[in-house]
Amino acid sequence: MHIWIRLNAGDAPVSTLASALAGALEERLPMLSGVAGPTDGLRRLDLLASLAPVARAFHLEVPELTSYGGTEIDICHRTGRLAISVQTGRARTNNGALVAVLAAASAPDVDWLIALAPTRYKETPTAQPVRQNLRSLATAAGVDLELKGALVLDY
């Protein structure tokens, strides 16, 4: 069972499609760990290419994999109201996941965001601090986002 970070005060259940996508992505995490070299950095385009088969199986819009334009939401499914963001590098200190949440919240057709973050990057914990940052955002006074929830999966 995945623990989603609820960002909207509503108590809508996690969509069946979002849960199924999270499970499918979780099955690919060991492969993603192989794409992330421990000393030569994380190769974002390789990570996105590794996710493409899962994304296509869920009819997600897969970005052009020959270049990276800097968007924070990498893969999006408009009709399923889902988005995937791949965090690389020092994700815990560059606030990329926070920006991804804000980008997803500003998209009128996204309700659920799945962020993939490395467990560690260059010997520094990454995914857990990302999770903590998102929990802090979710509980911050006066913050009301049009996003039902986010899930951080470690690779």
pLDDT at 94: 66
Q: CB under 8 Å to 141, separation ≥6 — which residues?
A: none
1 vs 72, more confident = 1
For 99-125, write each residue's pLDDT tens digit: 889 888 888 888 999 999 888 777 788
Confidence of residue 143 (pLDDT cuts 50, 70, 90): confident
Q: Return the domain boundaries, the chain.
A: 5-154
20 vs 79, more confident = 20
CA distance 84 to 76: 6
| Structural tokens at position 154 | 């470690």
pLDDT above 90 covers what percent of the chain?
Answer: 25
